[in-house]
C-alpha cells in the first residue's frame, strides 16, 4: 500500500524514477524484508498488468517515472474517500 501511495503522491514527478520508488519502498516497514530485485519484479509485473504506467522523462531518456493507471487511480481515490468518511463520523 505504501508503494502505491508514494507513486500516487509523486504523480509522474520526473525527479523520481523506478529505482527511486524501490528505495523509498524499502524504507517502509512492510517492504523491509523484500529485496530490491523482488520489488523491481513486482513493479515490472504491475506495469505489465496495467496497474502502473511508465512515463518517459523528456530530459533524461534513461529515467522513467510511474503513475497509477486510470482504473487504479479511481479505485485509490474511492478507497481514500471511504476512509475519510469512516473516520469523520
Is this model's pTM higher than 0.85 or not? no
CA distance 33 to 30: 8
CB 31 within 8 A of CB 3: yes
Q: What is the pLDDT along the chain (89 residues), one digit of tens a residue?
A: 688 899 999 999 999 999 999 888 888 766 677 888 999 999 999 999 999 999 999 988 889 999 999 999 999 999 999 988 888 76
pLDDT of the residue at 28: 79
CA distance 55 to 69: 11
Question: What domains can you pick out in the chain, each with its CATH number?
Answer: 2-88 (1.10.10.10)
Alpha helices in 1-89 (DSSP H): 2-10, 18-27, 36-48, 70-88
Nearest-CA neighbor of 22 among 2, 50, 49?
2
pLDDT of the residue at 56: 93
pLDDT of the residue at 26: 84
Amino acid at each position: 500500500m505504501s508503494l502505491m501511495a508514494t507513486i500516487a503522491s509523486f504523480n509522474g514527478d520526473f525527479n523520481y524514477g523506478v529505482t527511486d520508488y524501490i528505495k523509498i519502498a524499502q524504507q517502509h516497514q512492510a517492504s523491509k524484508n523484500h529485496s530490491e530485485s523482488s520489488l523491481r519484479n513486482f513493479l515490472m509485473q504491475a506495469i505489465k498488468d496495467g496497474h502502473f504506467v511508465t512515463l518517459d522523462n523528456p530530459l533524461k531518456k534513461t529515467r522513467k517515472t510511474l503513475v497509477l493507471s486510470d482504473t487504479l487511480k479511481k479505485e485509490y481515490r474511492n478507497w481514500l474517500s471511504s476512509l475519510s468518511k469512516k473516520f469523520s463520523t
